[in-house]
Amino acid sequence: MGPDGDMSLCSLKLSDNHHGRTFAKSLLMTLLNLSSGISVLDLSYNNIAGWLSDFNRRFSSDSHLCYVNGKTLKMLRVLTLRESSLGKDDAESLRYALEHMPNLEELDISDNPIEDEGIRNFVPYFVGASDTCPHINCLKLENCDLSSVGVNLLLYVLSACKATLKSLSIADNYLGSQVTKALGKFFSTPIEVLDIAGIGLGSSGFQELQNLIKEELKLMKINISKNRGGIETAKFLSKLLSRAPQLVEVNATCNLMPIDSLAVICSALKFAKGNVKRVDLRGHIWNYKPEQISLCREIVHDGLPILVLPLPSASAVLHDHDP
Average pLDDT of 45-60? Answer: 74
User: Which pLDDT tens digit goes with each residue over 203-254?
Assistant: 999 999 999 999 999 999 999 999 999 999 999 999 999 999 999 999 999 9
Pairing of strands 307-308, 11-13: unpaired
pLDDT one-digit tens code per residue, 300-313: 999 999 999 999 87
Residue 161 belongs to some domain of the structure: no
Can you give the residue range of the structural domain that contains 128? 1-148
196 shares a domain with 121:
no
CA–CA gap between residue 229 and residue 247 (Å, rounded): 20
Instruction: With a cut of 90, say whether residue 2 has pLDDT above it.
Output: no
Asked whether residue 316 carries a pLDDT value surpassing 60, the answer given is: no
74 belongs to a structural domain: yes
Q: Please return the burial class of 301, using the count of CB atoms within 10 Å of its CB with bins 0-12, 13-18 and 19+.
A: middle
Residue 160 in any domain: the answer is: no
Over residues 44-72, the mean pLDDT reads 64
> How many domains, the chain?
2
Looking at the domain assignment, is residue 9 inside a domain?
yes
CATH number, position 54 = 3.80.10.10
pLDDT at 99: 83
Please indicate, yes or no, whether residues 254 and 305 belong to a single structural domain of this protein: yes
Instruction: Give domain status of residue 167, yes or no.
Output: no
From the list 101, 168, 118, the residue with the least C-alpha distance to 141 is 168
Q: What is the mean pLDDT of residues 55-75?
A: 55
Residue 48 counted as domain residue: yes
Q: What is the mean pLDDT of the chain?
A: 86
3-state secondary structure of 130: coil
User: What pLDDT does residue 220 have?
Assistant: 97
What pLDDT shows up at residue 118? Answer: 97
Q: Residues 6, 54: one domain?
A: yes
Cβ distance 128 to 96 under 8 Å? no
Q: For position 273, what pLDDT does the model report?
A: 72
What sign has the CA pseudo-torsion 179, 182, 188, 194?
Answer: negative
Q: Does residue 159 form part of some domain? A: no
Residue where a domain terminates, one of 130, 148, 166:
148
- Name the DSSP letter for residue 226: S
Contact (CB, 8 A) for 284 and 256 = yes
Does any domain span residue 153?
no
Do 141 and 182 lie in a common domain? no
Same domain, 320 and 234: yes
Beta strands in the chain (DSSP E): 11-13, 40-42, 78-80, 106-108, 138-140, 167-169, 193-195, 221-223, 249-251, 278-280, 300-301, 304-305, 307-308
Do 211 and 119 share a structural domain? no
Strand 11-13 with 40-42, pairing? parallel
Q: How confident is the model at residue 14 (pLDDT cuts 50, 70, 90)?
A: confident
Indicate whether 39 pLDDT > 50.
yes
Domain check: are 116 and 252 in the same one? no
Q: How confident is residue 319, by pLDDT bands cut at 50, 70 and 90? A: very low
Q: Contact, 61 vs 27, CB < 8 A?
A: no
Residue 119 has pLDDT above 60, yes or no: yes
Q: Do 36 and 7 contact (CB within 8 A), yes or no?
A: yes
What average pLDDT does this structure show over 278-282? Answer: 98
Is residue 133 domain-shared with residue 180, that is, in the same domain?
Answer: no
Together in a domain, 259 and 132: no
On the question of pLDDT at 133 being above 70, the answer is no
Q: Which residues contact 229 (CB under 8 A, 6 or more apart)?
A: 201, 202, 203, 205, 206, 236, 255, 256, 257
Residue 302: what are its φ and ψ, rounded to 5°? 55, 40
Out of 15-24, 221-230, 264-273, 301-310, least confident range: 15-24
Q: Is residue 173 scored above 70 in pLDDT?
A: yes
Burial of 63 (0-12, 13-18, 19+ CB in 10 A): exposed
Same domain, 202 and 308: yes
Instruction: Check residues 41 and 162 and name the one with the higher pLDDT.
Output: 41
User: Do residues 45 and 142 both lie within one domain?
Assistant: yes
Residues 121 and 197 in one domain: no
